[in-house]
Structure 1
Amino acid sequence: KRHPFPVHPDRQGDERDFKRMGFAKHLPDLARAENNGLGDSFGQFGFNDFFGSGSQWTRRAVLTTEGYLIVTDEYKGGESLGTDYLAGPIWHLAKVEGKATGSQEKNWFAAPAIDRAWWQKKEVGVTVCIHDDGNLKFGSVQQSKSQDVDPNTTVFAYRPITAGKTALFLSILVPYCLAKCPEGVVDGIKSVIKQSNTFIVFVNGVRVVIESDGSWSVNR
C-alpha cells in the first residue's frame, strides 16, 4: 500500500521510493542567482536522481520588489517510478491552533508569518496559491516536529506523474496584512502554464513570466 502523500518515503513507502540523503546529485552548472534593475530577483537550481534514479528536478523562482514569490518546479521522473508515482509542491506554514487540516477543494492556503523582521510592526501573514491544472489534489497535515522550525502545518498539492514525462507545478506566495481577508489576496492572483512550458502569473497588476530555459521578466 502506498504511503499517504506527503509522508516522507524514508519513514514509509514502497520499492520505488528513494532516500534523498546521499543520492540526489546537485547540478552546479544549472545554479543561477541574479537581479534586474528594478529590484526583482531570480534564482534556479536542479538535482539529478531526486527521489528516483534517473529523475531530475529543477526549481526556478522570482521574488519581486513587492514581496511576491513565484516558484516553478519541473520534475521528470526516472523509469523506476512507473505511471502513478505521486509528486507535487510542499510548503511549511505556521501552525494555527484549532485550524482543521486534511483534504480540501480550494487550491490555496493562508497562515500567519512564522516570524518577521524586528522593524515590522504590523501582523503579517502569507497566502500560498498553487496553480490548479485540473488534476491536482490539495490538503494539509499538522507536523509535531520539523528540521529547523517549531511545529508547523505542511500544505501540499499532488497528482500522479508518468516516468519520462516532465511534470510542471507552480506556486505563488503573497504576503498580506492579517487585518485583511486572505480571500481578497487570492482574488488578485491569476496564473497559467502554457504548453511551451512558460509560466505566467499576474498579482495585483504585476506580471511575472518564467521560461523553462531560465529566462524571466517582471512587468508593471
Structure 2
Amino acid sequence: YNSNAMKLPASYDAFWVQHPSLEFVTGRVGAIPYGTWKAASMPLPGLLNSRRAPSSERWKYNAEIDLFRRKDDPDFGYAHGNMDGYWYLNNEFHLKSFEFELAESVVEMRIPRLSGPKGDRLLFDGWDKIPSEFKVLEKKGEEVTRLIWKGNDPWNKYVTLAQGPKEGSDRVLRIWQGTEEKPEKADDTRFVVQLDEIDFTFDASKGYTRLHFEHNGRIRSGRGGFGTRGAHEAGFSLNGRMEYLTYDARGGILERDSLRAENRGEDSYGQFRYRNYFGPRSSWTRQTVLTQEGYLIVRDSYLPCESMNGYEAGPCWLLRPELDWKNDDQPDRGPIGHDPDRNWFHAPAWDHAWWQKEKKRLLVWIHPGEGKTFGVTAHDTTPDISRMMGSNYYPTQNSHGKAILKAGETEVFLSVLVPFTEGEKADPIAEKIETWVTNENCRATIGKVAVSIGLQGEWKVSR
C-alpha cells in the first residue's frame, strides 16, 4: 500500500493529484473554508496496518495500554500496530461508527459512502430515511451537553436540508452552530455529528477501499494528535478511535501482476500500477526505460474515477536548488532558477557516484501536450533528501507538469531526464529532445537515441 503522506505531500518523485482550487502540490484540501465543496476520502487499506487499525484474527487492540496484543498469548509482548495488517494478512474491516466535529460555523454535507471495486454503498439510503442513530450533539470534552438533532426528528434552526452546490443537484444537509459573531453554543463546546450502529463488515482491499465524504466547510476528527505534519489532520474518525489521512491521501494498492523489470543489453525497463490512487476507482501506471547513456524516460498514465473529475494531476520531479542555504536569497522559499513558463527544467545533481570526476546537472523535459501546464513550487522536504544541504527541511524545487482530469479519460505524461556535465548550456540539450504521445504509445528522441514505450509494456531503444 502506498498510503503515506509526508510532511509535504509530493516529497518524492511521484504522481500527484490535487483539488483545483489549491496551489498544486502545497495546498491543503482540509484547509479550504466554507464556500467550496471538497471530498474527505479515507483510504481504508492504509488504516489496516496503522496504529489505529481494527483488531483482527491474531491481534487485538488493548485500550488499557493503547497497543496491540496477540490473541493466542496476550501476555507476550505487544505491537504498536496490527501485525496482521503490516504483513497484509488482514483485509477485513468491521465498520461500526462514523464521527466528525464542525470546525466552522456552517457545514453542509452529502451522505457518506463506502467506495471501491464493488461500487458505492451509502451509509444510509437518503435524507428522508435518516436513521435515529444519526445525531448532531453538543459536546464539552467527551460529555454530551445537549442533543441538537437526530434522525426522524423535525428539522430545526440548527439542522435542515439545503440546495446542493449546482442548480438542480441533490439536496444536502446543512448544520449551523451560529455565526462567528453570535455563536449558538458555549465557547468550550462543539457540535459533533455521529452515526452509530452501522455494523457492516467488508473487504477493505477488494470490496470497499475508501470512506468517501463530500462536504462544504471545514471539519475535523476531534481526536487530536494525528496527522499534524503538514496539516494532514484527519477529517473524521471511525469506530470511536480509528482515524487516518482523509485529504491528499494517495492510498494506492499495488497491483502485483503489473510489476515488470527486464534488461536488454545495457538498457532497462520497469513498470508498476497502483489502484485506489487518490480515488476509489482511479489507477496510476508508471513505465520507465533507462538507457545505457543514462537517459531516463518515464511514462505516467492516470485513469481518474468520477470523484476525481476536475482535479489537477501530474508528475512531480524534485530538483536541487541552485544555491546552498547560507546563500539563499529567498530564505522562506529557496532559490528558484527555472522559468515556469517552459516545459523543461534543469538543476544541479543531488549527489555524485564515487567514480564521477566531473560535477553533473540534470535536465527534466515534460511533453508539452494539449492542456498541459508547467510550474515550479518550492517546498520543504524530509531529511533524507535535505540533510546533504545542511538543513533538516531545506526547500526543494518541485518541477512539474499538470492537467485537468476528466473522469474516465486516461491522462498521459511523458518525462525525459537527461544528465549533463556542469558548464554545458542547457538550451542546446533541450533542443535535441523531441517527444510524441498518444494514449497507446509514446516516443522520445534525445539526439540519435530513440526510445518508445507502449501501453502494454512494449519498449524499444534504437540508435
TM-score exceeds 0.5: yes
Please report the RMSD computed on the Cα atoms of aligned residues, expressed in angstroms.
2.1
The alpha carbon displacement at 1:11 in A equals 6.4
In structure 1, distance between residues paired with 2:26 and 2:40? 11
Residues 12, 107 of structure 1: alpha-carbon distance in 2 compared, 3 angstrom cutoff = farther
Q: Deviations over 1:78-119 (max 9, x none)?
A: 11112x110011000111235436872110000010001011
| 2:431 paired residue among 184, 187, 211 | 187
Q: What residue number does 1:205 align with?
A: 448
Unaligned 5+ segments in structure 1 are none
Q: What residue number does 2:316 align with?
A: 90
The alpha carbon displacement at 1:211 in A equals 0.1
Q: What residue number does 2:374 align with?
A: 138
Q: Percent identity?
A: 34
The alpha carbon displacement at 1:191 in A equals 0.4
Query: Is the 1:95–1:153 Cα contact (8 Å) retained in structure 2?
Result: yes
In structure 1, distance between residues paired with 2:420 and 2:293? 11
Query: Is the 1:54–1:78 Cα contact (8 Å) retained in structure 2?
Result: yes
In structure 1, distance between residues paired with 2:452 and 2:462? 9
Query: Is the 1:101–1:139 Cα contact (8 Å) retained in structure 2?
Result: no
In structure 2, distance between residues paired with 1:177 and 1:136? 29
The alpha carbon displacement at 1:144 in A equals 2.8
SS in 2 for 1:80: helix
Residues 139, 10 of structure 1: alpha-carbon distance in 2 compared, 3 angstrom cutoff = same
Query: Is the 1:16–1:52 Cα contact (8 Å) retained in structure 2?
Result: no
In structure 2, distance between residues paired with 1:102 and 1:183? 12
Structure 1 residue 29 corresponds to structure 2 residue 235: no
Structure 1 residue 107 corresponds to structure 2 residue 359: no
The alpha carbon displacement at 1:181 in A equals 0.4
In structure 2, distance between residues paired with 1:95 and 1:141? 11
SS in 1 for 2:39: coil
Residues 105, 135 of structure 1: alpha-carbon distance in 2 compared, 3 angstrom cutoff = same
Query: Is the 2:432–2:446 Cα contact (8 Å) retained in structure 1?
Result: yes
Equivalent residue runs for 1:122-133 within 5 Å: 122-133=358-369
In structure 1, distance between residues paired with 2:27 and 2:253? 19
Q: Deviations over 1:21-63 (max 9, x none)?
A: 82311000000000013x1000000100101110010000000
Q: What residue number does 2:25 align with?
A: 6
Residues 9, 54 of structure 1: alpha-carbon distance in 2 compared, 3 angstrom cutoff = farther
SS in 2 for 1:105: coil
Greater CA radius of gyration, 1 or 2? Answer: 2
Unaligned 5+ segments in structure 2 are 1-19, 47-250, 324-328, 330-334, 387-393
Residues 19, 92 of structure 1: alpha-carbon distance in 2 compared, 3 angstrom cutoff = farther
| 2:269 paired residue among 42, 49, 62 | 42
Residues 180, 214 of structure 1: alpha-carbon distance in 2 compared, 3 angstrom cutoff = same
In structure 1, distance between residues paired with 2:303 and 2:377? 26
TM-score, scaled relative to structure 2: 0.44
Query: AA paired with 2:279?
Result: G
Q: What residue number does 1:174 align with?
A: 418
SS in 2 for 1:89: strand
The alpha carbon displacement at 1:12 in A equals 4.8
Residues 29, 5 of structure 1: alpha-carbon distance in 2 compared, 3 angstrom cutoff = same
SS in 1 for 2:428: helix
SS in 2 for 1:16: strand
More strand, by proportion? 1
In structure 1, distance between residues paired with 2:293 and 2:23? 36
SS in 2 for 1:183: helix
In structure 2, distance between residues paired with 1:68 and 1:15? 39
Residues 198, 114 of structure 1: alpha-carbon distance in 2 compared, 3 angstrom cutoff = same
Q: What residue number does 2:284 align with?
A: 57
